[in-house]
Structure 1
């Protein structure tokens, strides 16, 4: 399977391990959430390396994980987005930078919002761990607008 390696000049490598006492608590909590999220899936044997792509305390963190894939169709690089938004992964096959990963995340979540607003099935869309109803769609739409207008422009593309 061909893959595009991420631009590691746009991320900061994080030490593997249980925790880093010098790291800020919110970053450590977000990294723990991202690890739990990625480990929920059965397509990776192990996390080989971890990187921080971007973070805004209390709002969003974008992590990049290099994994040992369990199956040939699984990508070696996986972006994980956590924070005050639905957690999600973005396969690293085309997103080389945190900017691209967040842009792809926003687009996928906007598809979910539109389907939820219209009462359509979200089964084949990015998984969101809330009911697909208009109220949840509007809440998420507001967060996505904030990410698109205020956060995305701050991230170096």
Structure 2
């Protein structure tokens, strides 16, 4: 199945638009937002961020942001989710995730693949990048966080 860039638009009814430097949010939230922006901007396929949205937050644990950006390369969709918090940062394509629920569910699944490979001592080269060594110890730490998110947070999101 071929997808077009038009297929990559998220459901904007499932997110809250964020104003630039809104001081109503907690310091912790504003820090997470800055880290999410820096993470996204670290990718060479992003030219500039155009819009920011909040899909979900549990301060200190996890944040699901949606970004609209100007692509720096052709055939790059202009929307992506960024998951950040007390978990490895990652982006999730809007091609596969139109809502925060689907983005977070996809994040959990991708990170569980990494956990399984790290537990078994297999290569993680072709799996979602995680910025720690792929050891059983790190796999167990991540697995416990993913279990909490899957059981306690994911059910709170509308789907």
Q: What is the DSSP-based 3-state SS (H/G/I as helix, E as strand, rest coil) of the residue aligned with 1:124?
A: coil
| Inter-partner Cα distance in structure 1 for 2:89 and 2:65 | 11
CA contact (8 A) 1:46 1:67 kept: yes
CA contact (8 A) 2:114 2:128 kept: yes
RMSD: 0.9
| Inter-partner Cα distance in structure 2 for 1:10 and 1:22 | 21
TM-score, length of structure 2 as denominator length? 0.94
Residue 16 of structure 2 is matched in structure 1 by 12
TM-score, length of structure 1 as denominator length? 0.95
Q: Which runs of 5+ in 1 are unaligned?
A: none
CA offset digits 1:88-114 (Å, max 9, x no partner):
101111200000000000000000000
Residue 141 of structure 2 is matched in structure 1 by 139
Equivalent positions of 1:7-156 (< 5 A) are: 7-16=11-20, 19-156=21-158
CA contact (8 A) 2:8 2:93 kept: no
> Paired residues, what number?
155
| Inter-partner Cα distance in structure 1 for 2:148 and 2:155 | 11
CA contact (8 A) 2:64 2:81 kept: yes
Q: Which runs of 5+ in 2 are unaligned?
A: none
| Inter-partner Cα distance in structure 2 for 1:115 and 1:75 | 29
